[in-house]
Amino acid sequence: MHDNTNNMPLIGDNAPSFIAQTTNGTIKFPEDYKGRWVILFSHPMDFTPVCTTEFLSFQSMLNEFKKLNTDIIGLSVGSIPSHLAWFRSIHDEINLKDWQNTVIDFPVIADIDLHISKLYGMIHPKTSETKTVRAVFIIDDKGIIRTILYYPQTTGRNIKEILRILTALQTTDAFGVSTPADWVPGTPVIEPSPKTAQDMVKRTKSKNKNTNVQTWYLTFRELPESKIYEKIIKK
């Protein structure tokens, strides 16, 4: 068993603490982000094509994450000078979709000694002993890990899906509901299942016009997109 997988953090765990040098200066995590959500993601290395497209996409959606009280933190095994030189190349040379002259302004950690990568289980030895996979950790405003995603080095992430997951998590917290497969804001959410026989009978006889009772354990409820964003977006 490799030491970087023995104590990998899991959903529901406190996010492991660290101090790191980033392209925006030193950060102390999670203390510096108290009261805010965080997307912590790793990329294998600088000056790589898939990573470049991901960084452009994250940057283009940065304001949408900020509206949801969320900061983005990147990480790779590269040095700060390497990160900055790569950012300069992205700004000066890349013209893709609507992305040109893009300034990457979210912090990117230089994890040269692999300390944070191993702490978070971002090194998968059968892929590489020295490069991270594409890991994503969604960490809530209390420092709790709420979602973990892993992608191989060859497959770029869907940043809109990461935003959708974040929105779903915050909707669950705000309204006490779950979200079904393929949910997007404005489509029905799922009510908690009844916990007693009495509640089960009551649920099946419900006449609430805003709910759709499929069976006692599956009930959909209308939740308008405007109501969701009214509660979760930070002005």
What dihedral angle (degrees, nearest 10) is formed by the CA atoms of 47, 50, 51, 55? Answer: 120
For residue 162, being part of any structural domain is answered with: no
- Tell me, yes or no, whether 147 and 182 share the same domain: no
For residue 170, being part of any structural domain is answered with: no
**pLDDT tens, per residue, the chain with 235 residues:** 344 445 789 999 999 999 999 999 999 999 999 999 999 999 999 999 999 999 999 999 999 999 999 999 999 999 999 999 999 999 999 999 989 999 999 999 999 999 999 999 998 888 877 788 899 999 999 999 999 999 998 999 999 999 999 999 999 999 999 999 999 999 999 999 999 999 898 888 888 888 999 999 999 999 999 999 999 997 6
For residue 209, being part of any structural domain is answered with: yes
CB atoms within 10 A of CB 230: 10
- Tell me, yes or no, whether 72 and 138 share the same domain: yes
Is 134:151 a contact under the CB 8 Å cutoff? yes
Report field, pTM of the whole predicted structure over 0.85: yes
209 is in which domain, residue-wise?
176-232
Nearest CA-CA partner of 6 in 120, 130, 148, 152 = 120
Question: Which positions are annotated as active-site residues?
Answer: 51
- Tell me, yes or no, whether 117 and 218 share the same domain: no
Q: Domain tally for the chain?
A: 2
Q: Where are the beta strands (DSSP E) in the chain?
A: 18-22, 25-29, 37-42, 70-76, 95-96, 99-100, 108-110, 134-139, 145-151, 189-190, 211-215, 218-221
Look at the block and give the residue holding tokens 């040098």: 21
